[in-house]
């Protein structure tokens, strides 16, 4: 059956099916580029990190306020401790002065006791302290009067000495008690102030450790944010290049009738791996490289292999599969060094993993013109050309167009 008749039959059958079951064919959604997905993932990670940074900064602020409060409290305690130590020094000075006074009182007490002892010995030698006996033993009344006056004076002096001794003893006892009380108070104040200062220092040090940890977390998150932003900028540049390539393909209309007719004629002839030909076919197409097809178009390992892999030695020539205009020439992610040609009518071709690119964007090329050399750049396990054919941006089997 001629090709045109087969196409007409296919169209009639399709119209009948749609009319019968009311099938509405959905519009093909634009595929999400891998670079765009990676960029979206990076941006999501950056947003999460920024939220973590905000929370970490709030925690750091609380820890800083807590540390500042502990620092101020420690300063207050240290001032109080300094004042207490000054008071202790003053008390110590008072204690020292009290000890001097105590020593003086004890010396005075000893002296007075010695005077009393001397007087007692003197009276004893004179017959005791009985004034009547002394008077009766006098030779005359005048002598008796004198003896009596002397005894009275001595008695009065001794009475005063006794009073002074008792007063001194009382003062000595009181001074001794005061000394003991001041010493105990001195020890309590010093111990309490040292304990308070030690506790305040522990609190301050603990809060300093907490603040250091929260500050370190903020710094770590900010470093991670910086790295993610740098990675995001790199991937964004790759995504923009991929978008420009996809936009160039989407800007053309859908497949032409000529391409469809050619596909109908050649698809059935493609079988397995085969050696390529460099002849230019009647539709203006030629194989882009000389070698053996090592991987066909189609799904493998759960994903679409969107082109043909043509094995060839490193540096082998790569030719334009059809006349067209270079829309992209450069490195692009897993494609490595890539050339994209626009052939008009929504048809574009891609030539990946090149070791060397020999054309630039905007150049016009003819079918069979060399545009680069076979290589293994990008995601590649060895020298080969990855060749794609797209219609309106959607991958098609290149064998449908190659002679």
Cα 125 to Cα 120, 121, 131, 135, distances in angstroms: 9, 6, 14, 16
| Range of lowest pLDDT (167-171, 192-196, 294-298, 309-313) | 167-171
* Residue 182 Cα distances to 86, 90, 92, 95, 177, angstroms: 15, 11, 8, 7, 9
Identify whether the C-beta of residue 249 lies closer than 8 Å to the C-beta of residue 390.
Answer: yes
Q: Using CA atoms, how far apart are residues 355 and 276, in angstroms rounded to an integer?
A: 20
Nearest to 246 by CA among 33, 10, 22, 25: 33
pLDDT digits (tens, 9 = 90+) for 137-191: 555 555 555 555 555 655 666 666 667 667 766 776 777 787 778 777 777 887 8
- Domain parsing of the chain, residue ranges: 48-233, 257-263+277-403
Of the candidates 283, 268, 288, 297, the residue with the CA atom closest to the CA atom of residue 345: 283
- pTM: predicted TM-score of the whole model, two decimal places: 0.41
Task: Give 320-337 pLDDT, tens digit per residue.
Answer: 999 999 999 999 888 999
Handedness of CA 232, 238, 243, 246 (dihedral sign): negative
Closest listed residue to residue 396, CA positions, set 305, 302, 279: 305
Chain segment 199-241, per-residue pLDDT in tens: 888 898 888 888 888 888 898 898 888 888 888 887 777 777 6
DSSP 97-133: HHHHHHHHHHHHHHHHHHHHHHHHHHHHHTT-S-HHH
Residue 364 belongs to what H/E stretch?
strand 364-365
The better pLDDT of the pair 91, 59 is held by 59
CATH 2.40.50 fits 48-233, yes or no: no
Do the beta carbons of residue 109 and residue 182 sit within 8 Å? no
Report, as an integer, the average pLDDT of 80-98: 77
| CB 134 within 8 Å of CB 151 | yes
What residue has token string 């020292």? 96
Band of residue 257 on the pLDDT scale cut at 50, 70, 90: very low
CATH label, 257-263+277-403, candidates 2.40.50.140, 2.60.40.10, 2.70.70.10, 1.10.10.10: 2.70.70.10
Q: Which pLDDT value is given to residue 217? A: 87
Average pLDDT rounded to a whole number, residues 281-291: 83
**Better-scored residue on pLDDT, 187 or 76:** 76
State the DSSP code for 297. Answer: S
Give me the mean pLDDT over the 77-101 stretch.
Answer: 78
């Amino acid at each position: 059956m001629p090709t045109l008749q087969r196409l007409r039959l296919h169209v009639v059958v399709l119209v009948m099916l749609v009319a019968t079951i009311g099938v509405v064919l959905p519009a093909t959604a634009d595929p999400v580029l891998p670079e765009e997905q990676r960029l979206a993932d990076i941006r999501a990670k950056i947003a999460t990190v920024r939220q973590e940074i905000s929370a970490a900064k709030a925690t750091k602020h609380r820890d800083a306020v807590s540390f500042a409060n502990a620092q101020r409290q420690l300063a207050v305690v240290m001032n109080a401790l300094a004042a207490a130590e000054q008071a202790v020094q003053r008390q110590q000075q008072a204690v020292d002065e009290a000890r001097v006074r105590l020593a003086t009182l004890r010396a005075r007490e000893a002296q007075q006791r010695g005077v009393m002892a001397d007087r007692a010995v003197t009276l004893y030698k004179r017959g005791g302290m009985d004034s009547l006996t002394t008077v009766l033993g006098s030779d005359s009344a005048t002598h008796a009067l004198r003896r009596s006056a002397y005894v009275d004076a001595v008695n009065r002096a001794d009475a005063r000495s006794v009073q002074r001794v008792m007063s001194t003893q009382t003062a000595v006892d009181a001074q001794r008690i005061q000394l003991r009380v001041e010493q105990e108070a001195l020890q309590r104040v010093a111990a309490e102030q040292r304990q308070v200062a030690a506790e305040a220092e522990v609190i301050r040090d603990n809060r300093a450790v907490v603040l250091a940890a929260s500050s370190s977390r903020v710094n770590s998150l900010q470093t991670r944010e910086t790295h993610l932003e740098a990675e995001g900028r790199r991937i964004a540049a790759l995504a923009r290049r991929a978008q420009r390539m996809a936009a160039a393909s989407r800007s053309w209309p859908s497949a032409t009738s000529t391409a469809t007719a050619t596909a109908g004629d050649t698809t059935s002839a493609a079988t397995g791996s085969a050696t390529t030909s460099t002849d230019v076919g009647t539709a203006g197409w030629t194989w882009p490289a000389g070698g053996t097809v090592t991987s066909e178009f189609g799904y493998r390992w759960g994903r679409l292999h969107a082109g043909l892999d043509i094995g060839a030695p490193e540096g082998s020539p790569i030719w334009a599969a059809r006349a067209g205009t270079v829309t992209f020439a450069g490195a692009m992610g897993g494609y490595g060094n890539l050339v994209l040609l626009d052939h008009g009518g929504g048809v574009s071709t891609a030539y990946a993993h090149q070791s060397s690119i020999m054309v630039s964007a905007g150049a016009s090329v003819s079918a069979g013109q060399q545009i680069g050399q076979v290589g293994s750049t990008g995601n590649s396990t060895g020298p080969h050309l990855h060749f794609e054919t797209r219609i309106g941006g959607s991958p098609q089997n290149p064998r449908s167009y190659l002679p």
